[in-house]
Amino acid sequence: MLFLYICGMNLSNDLLIRAAKGEKVERTPVWLMRQAGRILPEYRKIRNSLSGFKELVETPSLAAEVTIQPVDILDVDAAIIFSDILVVPDAMGLSYEMIEKKGPFFRTTIQSQKDLESIEIPDVEDKLSYVFEAIKITKKELNGRVPLIGFAGAPWTIFSYMTEGQGSKTFSKAKKMLYQNPTLSHQLLNKITDTTILYLKAQIRAGADLVQVFDSWAGILNKEQYLEFGMKYVNKICDAIDEVPVTVFSKGAYSTLHEMAQLNCNTIGLDWNMDVQNAKNIFNNNKTLQGNLDPCALYSDFKTIETKTNLMLNKFGNSRHIANLGHGLYPDINPENVKCFIETVKAYNYQNK
Amino acid sequence: MLFLYICGMNLSNDLLIRAAKGEKVERTPVWLMRQAGRILPEYRKIRNSLSGFKELVETPSLAAEVTIQPVDILDVDAAIIFSDILVVPDAMGLSYEMIEKKGPFFRTTIQSQKDLESIEIPDVEDKLSYVFEAIKITKKELNGRVPLIGFAGAPWTIFSYMTEGQGSKTFSKAKKMLYQNPTLSHQLLNKITDTTILYLKAQIRAGADLVQVFDSWAGILNKEQYLEFGMKYVNKICDAIDEVPVTVFSKGAYSTLHEMAQLNCNTIGLDWNMDVQNAKNIFNNNKTLQGNLDPCALYSDFKTIETKTNLMLNKFGNSRHIANLGHGLYPDINPENVKCFIETVKAYNYQNK
């Protein structure tokens, strides 16, 4: 029984897992990127009682609590562990701060061979124990209601922050390194990849039922560069994870969708600009597709949200689809509008399409 | 003679104009977006002697001087008037500040019908006289050496700033208005479009030999929205301008390239992520293509810059191409590397391809 539980087989709602594997589902499962977070007053109450974002990420009982909030409040078909992709560089020895209204900031960045040697492939079980503890608490409290999604940033996206030091419109410092020092770039990407594989495997051991890799900055590289510095490492991760289904979400990777069809993963996330029919043609039922309503559509009135959600569901059809947004929820979206989206997916009648 | 001069017929180097019109050229013309600016020490010297960016934009003799600098120093085949796309909302009554290291900031934004009524379609000749004066001085000082490019932001991009108030990763406030108040959105877009047409026509009267419309935030709208709120207004502008060749650069508009083939313009700018062969297939020699080296490639050594530039030139072929980057120059790029790019284009042997 314990074994079955750990393997995520004992779920009363396993729609997400079956949809990811391409199995038959009674209806399309639905969850939302950034569902645990600022849109919920219940989240803000906890967040505001703390010194900062990192305290929440690093306190397992609270991270578990905000992870479960959207399951209780929004009735989504999956929980995703509340954390941040930047815990990986943090564990490697490159610490970040989360600055209110500005985003992440690294005091030091990787610029040289010496910098590279100053960071390590850490003992993740030790350095990231707070994440695994949060996963264990969440799994226990969810008690099989819905699957729990683990996640990590893709190596290129983590590399971008470790070299750029903060968010950027162009990530020109990160890209500069690719051009000026491809060898160092690959060394850093390899170190991140090795850490990420260890990290995801430990999340799975702790109880994650599915893992998602977020390549948030895929879209700033051209095709040639994304294949060399981005997808190559996503590929390594996909090949290394065979315990649970894997989802890859490469935002803005319009020019490499054909190559993504070769990834050893179950699900491909589509951003709101990606054409659903084009993606269906490319992935040809060999992958489940996840997405992709424009998050800003949730600023509309209920009627418009229903119309746009049904339109999206029509495009994807009734198999190999996990309903989601094409990007994370924005903080000022009304939770009632999010509920409208979720209820529309659940009420969708396949005969309508 | 004066008439010919005003019409841009008296240019000793008219490669850009001929390439835009699809006429035969001896070699591919080359210029760079943001060629007048922070990469040049000569620019920084002038800029640092002033109180701010806006003083430079609004002082015709100095704007003309920095416009001509890259012609003298880098030997490009065109000048582009030094200005900012945000002079348009400024002239409409919505003033902006340029905050060092942060970018543009509007103290008030357009959120309601009342806000919309508070701005006007201005008498551009009066309100933007400093731009036309700068164009006249530049034309006089260039004395026909190379063409002068005028420009404006596309209505959707200007709308984004007028509603969002500043740069943003998501422009979710701007997009929120499209969803919550499409009628108000169209009214504002129409007001911006009418102003932009008057503005571009006045630039042409002052001496601009070609005009470019920059839709910097095209890529954050999905296809349906870009057609409705973006391209529709670019189309109006293209239809209104018949005095000189028009270039449209819609950054990130991957899903609407087919529709852009219908625009009444001569040249389409491609960003560095756009696939050249795909664009050639879509535009089928009916448009000139401009671009599209990754600006970060100019961080490489000379040999790599040469290789990557030649590779790009091979892809475009020897007709209907204006060599440029796929985005503006970044401020910390070495001018010597920019020269290497320019010289490589000029030395390109068509037999090589």
Per-residue pLDDT of B101-124, as tens digits, reads 889 999 999 999 999 999 999 999
Closest Cα of chain B to A283: distance in Å? Answer: 18
Are the beta carbons of A306 and A274 closer than 8 angstroms? no
Are the beta carbons of A83 and A57 closer than 8 angstroms? yes
Per residue in A168-184, pLDDT tens?
Answer: 989 999 999 999 999 99
A36 reaches B (C-beta below 8 A):
no
- pLDDT tier, B350 (very low <50, low <70, confident <90, very high otherwise): low
In the predicted structure, residue A5 carries a pLDDT above the cut 60? no
Per residue in B288-301, pLDDT tens?
Answer: 999 999 999 999 99
In the predicted structure, residue B352 carries a pLDDT above the cut 90? no
- pLDDT tier, B323 (very low <50, low <70, confident <90, very high otherwise): very high
Each domain of chain B, given as residue ranges in start order, spans 2-352
**pLDDT score for A323:** 98
Q: What percent of chain A has pLDDT over 70?
A: 96
Alpha carbon separation from A252 to B4, B23, B74, B183 (Å, rounded)? 46, 35, 34, 29
A300 vs B contacts (CB less than 8 Å): 179-180
**pLDDT score for B9:** 57
**pLDDT score for A247:** 98
Pick among 3.40.50.620, 3.20.20.210, 3.40.50.300, 3.60.21.10: CATH of B2-352 = 3.20.20.210
- pLDDT tier, B349 (very low <50, low <70, confident <90, very high otherwise): confident
**pLDDT score for A288:** 98
Per residue in A260-275, pLDDT tens?
Answer: 999 999 999 999 999 9
A273 vs B contacts (CB less than 8 Å): 219-223, 254-255
In the predicted structure, residue B87 carries a pLDDT above the cut 80? yes
**pLDDT score for A353:** 45
Q: Do B296 and A254 touch (CB under 8 A)?
A: no
CA distance B266 to B247: 6
Residues in Cβ contact with B31 at an 8 Å cutoff, skipping those fewer than 6 apart: B16, B70, B76, B77, B78, B79, B80, B149, B322, B324
CA distance A337 to A302: 7
A179 vs B contacts (CB less than 8 Å): 296-297, 299-300, 304
Catalytic residues of B: 34, 38, 47, 84, 161
Backbone angles phi, psi at B201, to 5 degrees: -65, -35
Q: Do B172 and A297 touch (CB under 8 A)?
A: no
Closest Cα of chain B to A219: distance in Å? Answer: 8
Closest chain A residue to the Cα of B329, Cα to Cα: A172
- The count of residues in chain A is 353
B5 reaches A (C-beta below 8 A):
no
Per residue in A96-116, pLDDT tens?
Answer: 999 988 899 999 999 999 999
- pLDDT tier, B95 (very low <50, low <70, confident <90, very high otherwise): very high
**pLDDT score for A111:** 97
B181 reaches A (C-beta below 8 A):
no
Partner-chain residue, chosen from B176, B222, B299, that has the shortest CB–CB distance to A273: B222
Give which of A269, A261, A266 is closest to A290, Cα–Cα: A269
Q: Do A272 and B222 touch (CB under 8 A)?
A: yes
Are the beta carbons of B279 and B321 closer than 8 angstroms? no
Closest Cα of chain A to B175: distance in Å? Answer: 6
B254 vs A contacts (CB less than 8 Å): 254, 273
